Amino acid sequence: MAVKVLVVDDSGFFRRRVSEILSADPNIQVVGTATNGREAIDQALALKPDVITMDYEMPMMDGITAVRHIMQRCPTPVLMFSSLTHEGARVTLDALDAGAVDYLPKNFEEISRNPDKVRQLLCEKVHTISRSNRRYSGFSAPGNSPAAAPSAHASSAPVAPSRPAHTAASAAPKRKSYKLVAIGTSTGGPVALQRVLTQLPGSFPAPLVLIQHMPAAFTKAFAERLDKLCKIRVKEAEDGDLLRPGLALLAPGGKQMMIDGRGSVKILPGDERLNYKPCVDITFGSAAKSFNDKVLAVVLTGMGADGREGARLLKQSGSQVWAQDEASCVIYGMPMAIVKANLADAVYGLDDIGRHLVEACS
């Protein structure tokens, strides 16, 4: 059955172009378009699409407000279009916090210069986030009423309730003097990381590194956002930064982050041969080499299998690997790869991971 898509944008050119690209895929059906946020809400209620593509800046009602209303009234996976700027990053993070699943850069030049690449990426994103639809059905964010803006200190994204944390694979966390906590994630990661990291006390005893698939223009804004919300410190990693307890270093977009045995961070150019920049496997692998069995790695929501091979190296060194459970993932791809490869020492719901990190590292 074809994925039904509603395209929302105030630009007639962009609506037509996105509709043409999606309609060229025989497994996608564009069921409607809208020119502003209010039309988007009406169309979402009437057409019940599987996915909505959403612009931010529109007349009458902006995209973030529209997402908030849609998540309250008819929760639907939303793919945001955003500009690759610091302001675009801030807006996109607000949209994800409001309930959007994923985002794509809105780049007219790229569409003209490389239409095949854009077509493949857009259709892949739509197909992938359509599969998250069942996780949104019937769920809405606590306190996320259409009349009220979400709190700046709490995620308003609707997330399915976690399954009980203690599954067959999930014993109590193993307490240890870890030299590093490494967290890797992709789609759904910005909200998931916020949920985990805001549970950690400022006195958290271990250093952290964060690897989130994200464009170069976004990671600084994301680190700043997390730093404001969390008790621990969060910053975008720079070459030569030192690992410190209670400090989380976020891998910069478009580059690779490695750890050496002295606890120093190396930031390297993104290798064009690698699909992900930053890549979870690269950072996990360097952590395994540097700290052997003193690493606690966590793989959160995301599509694909990045992190699996790095986790394998960590397990071979004696370190611990956790995976987020399927019920609380936006996209159960990266954690599933860990579980299927029998690399997970524990599988926890999203809202339990922060608490267990505190227990394990205390």
Cβ pair 5, 29 in contact under 8 A: yes
User: Out of 306, 325, 345, 352, which one is annotated catalytic?
Assistant: 306
Please answer whether residues 208 and 183 qualify as being in contact, where contact means their C-beta atoms are separated by less than 8 angstroms. Answer: yes
Angle between helices 216-229 and 189-197 (to 10 degrees): 30
Is the predicted pLDDT of residue 265 greater than 90, yes or no?
yes
Predicted confidence (pLDDT) at residue 134 exceeds the cutoff of 60: no
Q: Can you tell me the distance from the alpha carbon of 181 to that of 197, in angstroms, rounded to the nearest whole number? A: 11
Residues sharing a CB contact under 8 Å with residue 116, sequence separation 6 or more, in sequence order: none
pLDDT of 85 higher than 90: no
Q: Which residue out of 50, 102, 213, 319 is catalytically annotated?
A: 213
Model pLDDT for residues 190-233, shown as the tens digit of each residue: 999 999 999 999 999 999 999 999 999 999 999 999 999 999 99
* Active-site residue (options: 82, 130, 186, 328): 186
- Secondary structure, 3-state, the chain: CCEEEEEECCCHHHHHHHHHHHHCCCCEEEEEEECCHHHHHHHHHHHCCCEEEECCCCCCCCHHHHHHHHHHHCCCCEEEEECCCHHHHHHHHHHHHHCCCEEEECCHHHHHHCHHHHHHHHHHHHHHHHCCHHHHCCCCCCCCCCCCCCCCCCCCCCCCCCCCCCCCCCCCCCCCCCCEEEEEECCCHHHHHHHHHCCCCCCCCCCEEEEECCCHHHHHHHHHHHHHHCCCEEEECCCCCECCCCEEEECCCCEEEEECCCCEEEEEECCCCCCCCCCHHHHHHHHHHHHCCCEEEEECCECCCCCHHHHHHHHHCCCEEEEECHHHCCCECHHHHHHHCCCCCEEECHHHHHHHHHHHHC
Query: What mean pLDDT comes out for the span 14-25?
Result: 94
The pLDDT of residue 67? 96
Q: How confident is the model at residue 110 (pLDDT cuts 50, 70, 90)?
A: low
Cis peptide before 278 (omega within 30 of 0): yes
Which comes out higher in pLDDT, residue 61 or 139? 61
130 alpha-carbon distance from chain centroid = 16
Q: Can you give the pTM of this predicted structure?
A: 0.87
Catalytic residue status for 319: no
Nearest CA among 277, 207, 212 for reference residue 241: 207
Share of the chain above pLDDT 90, in %: 77
pLDDT tens for 189-199 read: 999 999 999 99
pLDDT for the residue numbered 108: 59
Q: Which strands make up the sheet holding 247-250, listed edge to edge?
A: 233-236, 247-250, 208-212, 180-185, 295-299, 320-324, 346-348
Model pLDDT for residues 49-67, shown as the tens digit of each residue:
999 999 999 999 999 999 9
Q: What's residue 112's pLDDT?
A: 61
- Top pLDDT among 265 and 109 is at 265
- Residue 14's nearest CA partner among 96, 90, 106 is 106
- CA distances (Å), 146 to each of 10, 60, 140, in order? 22, 15, 11
Backbone torsion region of residue 281, taken as left when φ is above 0, otherwise alpha when ψ lies between -120 and 50, otherwise beta:
alpha
- Given a cut of 90, is residue 240 above it in pLDDT? yes
**What pLDDT does residue 167 have?**
42
Mark whether 213 is an active-site residue: yes
Closest CA to 146 of 99, 195, 79: 99
What does the alpha-carbon distance between residue 205 and residue 221 come to, in Å, rounded to a whole number?
25
Q: Which domains does the chain have, with CATH numbers?
A: 3-136 (3.40.50.2300), 180-361 (3.40.50.180)
What is the distance between the alpha carbons of residues 362 and 360, in angstroms, rounded to a whole number? Answer: 6
What pLDDT is attached to residue 305? 97
| 345 flagged as catalytic | no
Cβ contact 236:255 at 8 Å: no
